[in-house]
Amino acid sequence: MGDIIKLSALALGEKIGRGEIKIAEVLDAVYKSEEENRRLNCFITLCRERAYEKGAEIQRRLDAGEYISPLAGVPIGIKDNIAVDGVKMTCGSRILEDYVPPVSATAVKKLEDAGLIVVGKLNMDEFAMGSTGETSYFGAVLNPLDETRVPGGSSSGAAAAVAAGIIPLALGSDTGGSVRQPAAFCGVFGFKPTYGAVSRNGLVAYASSFDQIGVTAAAAADCAALENIISGCDGGDATSEEIKPSRADGEEFSLRGKKIGVPEEFISSCGKDIREAVAAALKKAEALGAEVEYFSLPPLEFSVPAYYIIACAQASSNLARYDGVRFGRRAENAADPTEMYIKSRSEGFGREVRRRIMLGNFVLGAGYYDAYYNRALKARRVIRDAVLNAFEKYDFLACPVYPSAAPRLGESLKDPLKTYLGDAYTVTANLAGLPAISIPCKNMCALQLMAAPFDDGSLLSAAGALGEAVK
């Protein structure tokens, strides 16, 4: 029974479509595996009854001969900052521990219309603020590859659940690497689509100009298949756009004739093991017919400060609504409204969220707006222009996902600045709105590929070809 959910999502969907496996059997296997792996703390909320009801409905349609989609009947986990109607959505925070959204996110509606079965809400760093999976109010997530090390964040539950074989697919969010980095630490694929390719309607905002719903899966073809389902223009998100579908069958996955640029700034600053793993992966790319060239991209040195100034500023605005009145848990025994606001937010938010709100308020304050926020916006434009210019010469940019192997549990919490600097390789894709994917290599190392905006299909094709070669 456990072998069922170790299939790729597309392979599982094919077996379900042929009638070789019943959806109820698949759900039985998922929940049995979750129970066996509960120590990993991948899920915050399970929705068994809802899943079996939806599964029975899809099974009836399939039994009647209806074709729904290649992923019909496949179980999926949803990061707990993406709304599923009638299921608690906590964002990993005490302040939202009892919040139940009345409607689903657009991406969730689309995947359920395509027959996928939501099995539960996945654990995450609080409000997607964290890179280790340790800041959730509901406890840290463990890495199934090495339980003494962090699984990465903020989509920690998504990566851990897929890596542990509990589910074949997960939906996460990526603001500065939150899908790609945990995927790297857990040895699976983490895909961030182009900004605007997937509607953010129903995704709880952290930094609205960076946030993007993404996919965690065991194979690049599964990422492509799910993006084809959830992407497209949506009236609920003015930034969303149509995108050309990706080939998901794997037959056309290729790197032949492609040119890969590797920014030297990224390679020189990472650890020896990471450099060697990336070099080995790039050698495989060359063997597959790609041309690899190292080049300099100086504006990248501004990526981390620009990202954190803008992200924290936007977070301080987006999280202002959680005050115990409009949204969120209300503190008790407050003498007046002002004290109630203060206590509700102080008690409801964890340390990392409070730190980023304070930083955001600081850079937006009188006397600091021009000195920090406006300069960060200018730096973002310089970085975006430099990266887009690079795509006039290269088909893809390649770099590590993280400068080292996964840190040990507790290490990162002692040195938040070091943790922030670790995002240097992933935030560029968010600053420039690029599609990017984490391709697992070995020993919790991964290669990241980035492509020009809306060239998601070519990126997934390259990742599929290279992913097979570096297994």
CA distances from 186 to 205, 206, 329 (A): 25, 24, 33
What token pair was written down for 249? Answer: 């069958």
Are the C-beta atoms of residues 277 and 442 closer than 8 Å to each other? yes
277: helix, strand or coil? helix
CA gap 248, 442 in Å, rounded: 24
Active site residue 346: no
What token pair was written down for 25? Answer: 């059997």
**Interhelix angle for 23-36 vs 9-18, to 10°?**
140
Active-site entry in 33, 178, 246, 344: 178
- Give the pairing of strands 436-440 and 446-451: antiparallel
Please calculate the CA angle 204-207-208 and round it to the nearest 5 degrees: 75
Active-site entry in 154, 155, 231, 240: 154
CA gap 165, 3 in Å, rounded: 9
Active-site entry in 33, 54, 79, 131: 79
CA gap 389, 71 in Å, rounded: 37
What token pair was written down for 386? Answer: 């430099």
Active site residue 155: no
Q: What are phi and psi of 72, to 5 degrees?
A: -60, 130
Active site residue 79: yes
CA gap 147, 5 in Å, rounded: 21
What token pair was written down for 435? Answer: 């599609």
Compute the chain's Rg from CA coordinates.
Answer: 21
Please calculate the CA angle 411-440-295 and round it to the nearest 5 degrees: 90
Q: What is the number of alpha carbons within 13 Å of residue 120 lying toward its C-beta?
A: 22
- Please identify every residue annotated as catalytic: 79, 154, 178
